Structure 1
Amino acid sequence: MPYLLRAQPYDPILGTVRWLYFSDIGFTTEPADAPSNTYFVRRIETPLTVRRSLFAGSAIGGYSETSFGKATLGNDDGAYDWLSDLDWDGRLVEILYTPVERPALADFAVLFSGAAEQLVLGDLIEIELRDLLVLLDVPASRGQFGGTGGIDGTVALKGRDKPWLIGRRRQIEPVLIDAANNVYMIDPMGFSALLAARDMGVTYPNAVGDYASYAALVAASLTGTNVATSKAAGLIRLGQKPEGRFTVDAEGVQVSGTWIYRFGDLVRHLVTSMTTVTAGSLLDASFTAFNALQPAVLGYWCDGSSVPQVRDVVDELAQSVGAYWGFGDDRKLALGRYDGPAAIADFTFGERDIIDLTPRSVERRMKSLKLGYRPFGVTFTADELKQVNVSSADLEAFQNAYRWTLLGTSAIAAAASLLATVDEAKSLFDDEAAAATERDRRLALFGAKRKAFDVVVPLTPGLHAGHTVKLNDARYGLSAGWRGVVLEAERNADDETHKLTVIG
């Protein structure tokens, strides 16, 4: 069947990107098409092999798995050796497909839209493909201190990444940027609220105001245990040096004047402020829907001493709420949550469609679960706390990295499965009720008995990991139709099949 490949590598001679067009059997667009009167050169040998998973490994929840694959072009005559002079990494590559034998351009559907990893030259040119998630494999950074003094930090801080805070976090240790004036930084983009400030676990009693800038903050008259802020500049100042470790509870950055704390809003901020992904590359409806589905307060703190990748931060947030996320063939970043199969399947395959159907093992059922929440940025030993002034509850709490929900139990799994697991997991929820709700959601999902299959079906444009499929087959109790979620989809254009891993 006909395939098209269009790519947009960077041409250093032109100083911009250029379009390249290839096909497997030769194809020319019509005058009314876009692009018009364009020949797609007959060079495609392998149109596409690509795999995409909702989650890395076998676990369900968090930790995205990028697509990977390749397409190849014939080059035994060396006519396209010049392609290696172009810059391919991160550039647009799209594969289009149609089952129509004599198609028009409008008959083609996008089978893959992503980025090139690199081009490997030879008699067979290999274009290594990656999902656009590679654009998020960059440092989650607000920039570095210049070491020129004042708000730019001391010489000792030169080159260190600046700290940042999103959502709400407890017991974090701000970065001292001006020892002479006792000024600490939380986030150069600002923060919303200082909930508590402590020295060796003892709360500072006096907050004396908020100032518009670093200059105004250091000019203010502070004494003793006074604490002042410049929330717009992301700063805190103390009236005197702390006796021990200085920690705060705080609410992080605002966007358009509003504090952000929900998963969808945090992801939007991270990818649009720290990567080349723009707001126009987000599937807004999925972000709005996820905020409504999971409105709980989350938080993430980076002190700048080590800097994670943006993708790793999003993955850690996603793991807390059971989210999956990634780019679709529309090149839009979308969010979703595994909640089991949808009531109405996106695609249905009967016995005549199913090329191969193989049952596969599933994870053990979950009997019990407790969830950690409200992570502390730093913990203390008993000797590090000023015990005479710290309440007994705080004295115990400050020595633990997380608080924990009660152990929840699935009565169904406990009664039916002797090998059901007793688990614990950590999260970035701030509130116990939100953590308990997520605990119970996971128990309902993973305490139930499940089936899983590897199924091979004809190549189906638009079918991706995350879709619900319905399988009708005489075997394995599927005669009445069974719905499952596609956890992994592997597209092979050589034999025109989709290999799916489905669970439900």
Structure 2
Amino acid sequence: MLDAYSLDTQPLDGLGVDMVPWVLTSVGTGRAIDYVYIAELYPWQGTNGVTYGAPLVLDAGMLDALPGQEEQPPGSTVPLYFADRGYLTAPIDSIAPRRLYEGRVEGFSVERRLPLSPTDSRRVAGTFGLLRLRNDDGMLDSLPDSFAIQGRRVVVKRIVRGQDLSEAVPVFDGVGVAWEPGDGVMGLTVRDRTALADLSLLPTYGGTGGKDGPAAWSGKPMPGVFGIGRWVPLECYDTALGLFRCHFRRIKSVLALWDKGGAYTFVGDYPTEAALKAASLTGGQYATCCAEGLVRAVPAGLSYAGTITADIEGDAEGGYVETHAEIAARLLEIGGLGDLVAGGTVTSHAAYLPGACGFAWTSQVTVGDAVSAVMQSCASWWGDDRTGMIRLGRLEEPGVPDLELVPGSGLLDVTPSTLPASISPAVWRSTVQYRRCNSVISRDAILFSADEATKAFAEREYREAPPAANSLILPRYPTAPELRINSGFDNPGPASDLASYLQALYARSRGAWACEVPLAVAASLWLGRSIWLEWPRHGLAQGRSVRVVALPEDVGDRIATIIVWG
């Protein structure tokens, strides 16, 4: 039996809880659901040298409610607890008996939205409102000067009054950005945890000489290669010995090396830069120090004919990675977010997109932008969920629904929503490109001695897998769009599979709908969940299986407008 919910207009009078205009009642249990929103802030206590208002002190009632707890000394993390109504946990609460949450939360909203089009940004779109704390008494005036919140953890949860804290449901688990004092309000801007990925991916040269680069390279990003990068351009840091850096740390191998299309012969791999320097090489040969991401190439003539390029099996620190999911997880690990990646989503993503791929960066990029580039190349998405964990996934056909939304049972209103132009009304052809040449050279510029296969590869940035198309769409929709994806795949098979997946997903005429539902319904949903939707209008009279693609929540509202697609 599918779950269902109804709206009860009875107040909570006589139930031993605060009065609210109306409450939600679960059809299955008949019990009233009285939600309380709690906020837990974990700033760093310490002065920034500015005096602003009176120093913040813990309320005496709070100290009484927390036996044995004292104010923390400067230079430590101090938890601050607030709620939309004053809330005291039970004496037998398993996490924090008799913890007091001050009733200061005045407003907070959050929405997460999956990208519908493969051409959209691949990070789950998070919109986070200002966390507003009532401050008409001035008790929070000193927060900006006494507590550093930037990059510190901020958690908002929803709990049914009387439940144990262990049963509280996360609504937001992210980081603070800045305090925003206002008239009678202390505001706090927040971001999801993917904000921590907005840091530079590539380390830079110090300019001290040797593999740290010449003085002119000081501050210049080192190259980064993940998976298999073809024809990655290299720069020489030691012209006397012909030493190049391929990657900023350990790599798996350098499969091949060219000078303007002329192939070099591989000699061997050496454990250190010193051993690589001492290796005996003749003209037209190359050797590697994979442990340090280095390669040495001796010119075939008096000097190099052009830019040295290499086929590199890249980052192998902790093991070589080559699928989109593995590379995305490795990038997040480098950014310090490895512990936040939900490993199950990496495994499942690698299972349905198993092909080897590769990406190379020779100019600076943030970890977040690098992950987005990897996920966009395979029409997938990444982002954090309500719990703050980072997940990888892709949009799929609606599955078997386990929740029914129909008029009078969990559904208040439905209005049509707009689909992106890149997939509307239907896609007539999907083309996926593969095996990128990272250093394109015109046929006229390549060495005459290079073979035809090398010339053909070097003059085009991508190869193109056979497209997937539906000949019935264009006669019906003459302006129907075409999808074109520059994948990171190295071989045509996985690229063709991706084209078939895209065409099957977007060749049909799809729709999106905004659905008003009670908070109790929205609280039971997650992004990507399949549900059954019926409504007398908008093509839904016979019902339709759809997926949840946008999920909002507002502390001040017990109605949520979700977006579904199918």
TM-score band, normalised by shorter chain: over 0.9
1:374 and 2:435 aligned: yes
Residues 479 and 133 of structure 1, relative CA distance in 2, 3 Å threshold: same
Percent identical: 26
Distance 1:289 1:391 in 2: 41
The residue that corresponds to 1:28 in the other structure is 88
TM-score by length of 2: 0.83
Residues 300 and 66 of structure 1, relative CA distance in 2, 3 Å threshold: farther
- Runs (4 or more) in structure 1 with deviation over 4 Å come to 56-61
Distance 2:118 2:494 in 1: 25
Q: Deviations over 1:465-484 (max 9, x none)?
A: 33323223333343443221
Distance 1:450 1:246 in 2: 48
Shift of 1:411: 4.0
Which amino acid is 1:326 matched to?
A: G
Matches within 5 A, 1:54-133: 54-55=114-115, 59=119, 62-85=122-145, 86-100=147-161, 105=165, 108-122=168-182, 123-133=184-194
Q: Deviations over 1:22-48 (max 9, x none)?
A: 1122111233322222211111111x2
The residue that corresponds to 1:398 in the other structure is 458
Q: Is contact 1:373–1:402 with CA below 8 Å preserved after alignment?
A: yes
Shift of 1:493: 2.4
What SS does the corresponding residue of 1:370 show, helix, strand or coil? strand
Which amino acid is 1:254 matched to?
A: A
1:492 and 2:538 aligned: no
Shift of 1:104: 5.1
Shift of 1:424: 2.4
Q: Deviations over 1:164-223 (max 9, x none)?
A: 11001111112312111100011131211222111111111x211111110000011212
The residue that corresponds to 1:471 in the other structure is 533
Distance 1:11 1:278 in 2: 27
1:310 and 2:367 aligned: yes
Q: Is contact 1:60–1:322 with CA below 8 Å preserved after alignment?
A: no
Q: Deviations over 1:324-367 (max 9, x none)?
A: 2211122211111111212234x432212222200234322111
Q: Deviations over 1:31-80 (max 9, x none)?
A: 3322222211111111x211211228895673442342222111122111
Distance 1:56 1:126 in 2: 32
The residue that corresponds to 1:9 in the other structure is 43
Shift of 1:111: 2.1
Residues 319 and 278 of structure 1, relative CA distance in 2, 3 Å threshold: closer
Shift of 1:109: 2.2
Shift of 1:294: 1.0
What SS does the corresponding residue of 1:2 show, helix, strand or coil? strand
The residue that corresponds to 1:349 in the other structure is 405
1:175 corresponds, among 232, 235, 242, to: 235
Shift of 1:383: 3.8
TM-score by length of 1: 0.92
What SS does the corresponding residue of 2:346 show, helix, strand or coil? helix
Q: Is contact 1:163–1:175 with CA below 8 Å preserved after alignment?
A: no
- After the TM superposition, which of the residue ranges 193-202 and 360-369 deviates more from structure 2? 360-369
Residues 169 and 391 of structure 1, relative CA distance in 2, 3 Å threshold: same
Which amino acid is 1:8 matched to?
A: Y
1:332 and 2:406 aligned: no
1:223 corresponds, among 267, 282, 285, to: 282
Q: Is contact 2:153–2:173 with CA below 8 Å preserved after alignment?
A: yes
Q: Is contact 2:247–2:315 with CA below 8 Å preserved after alignment?
A: yes
Shift of 1:425: 2.5
Which amino acid is 1:313 matched to?
A: A
Q: Is contact 1:328–1:334 with CA below 8 Å preserved after alignment?
A: yes
Q: Deviations over 1:124-153 (max 9, x none)?
A: 112222211101111112x22122222222
Q: Deviations over 1:367-416 (max 9, x none)?
A: 11222211111111334211x21223322331211111233212453465
What SS does the corresponding residue of 1:272 show, helix, strand or coil? helix
Distance 1:268 1:470 in 2: 33
Q: Is contact 1:111–1:461 with CA below 8 Å preserved after alignment?
A: no
- What are structure 2's unaligned runs of at least 5 residues? 1-34, 48-73
Which amino acid is 1:2 matched to?
A: V
Distance 1:96 1:425 in 2: 39
Q: Is contact 2:171–2:387 with CA below 8 Å preserved after alignment?
A: no
Distance 1:319 1:175 in 2: 28
The residue that corresponds to 2:348 in the other structure is 289
Q: Is contact 1:64–1:315 with CA below 8 Å preserved after alignment?
A: no
Shift of 1:437: 0.9
Residues 60 and 470 of structure 1, relative CA distance in 2, 3 Å threshold: farther
The residue that corresponds to 2:267 in the other structure is 208
The residue that corresponds to 1:233 in the other structure is 292
The residue that corresponds to 2:19 in the other structure is none
Distance 1:94 1:81 in 2: 21
Residues 148 and 36 of structure 1, relative CA distance in 2, 3 Å threshold: same
Residues 255 and 351 of structure 1, relative CA distance in 2, 3 Å threshold: farther
Shift of 1:117: 2.2
The residue that corresponds to 2:313 in the other structure is 251
What SS does the corresponding residue of 1:317 show, helix, strand or coil? helix
Distance 2:427 2:201 in 1: 34
Distance 2:434 2:493 in 1: 10
Which amino acid is 1:209 matched to?
A: G
Which amino acid is 2:156 matched to?
A: I
Distance 1:99 1:51 in 2: 21
Q: Is contact 1:62–1:320 with CA below 8 Å preserved after alignment?
A: no
Q: Is contact 1:264–1:287 with CA below 8 Å preserved after alignment?
A: yes
- After the TM superposition, which of the residue ranges 423-432 and 243-252 deviates more from structure 2? 423-432
Distance 1:104 1:332 in 2: 22
Which amino acid is 1:349 matched to?
A: L
Distance 1:12 1:109 in 2: 31
Residues 53 and 174 of structure 1, relative CA distance in 2, 3 Å threshold: same
Q: Is contact 1:466–1:485 with CA below 8 Å preserved after alignment?
A: yes
Distance 2:168 2:484 in 1: 48
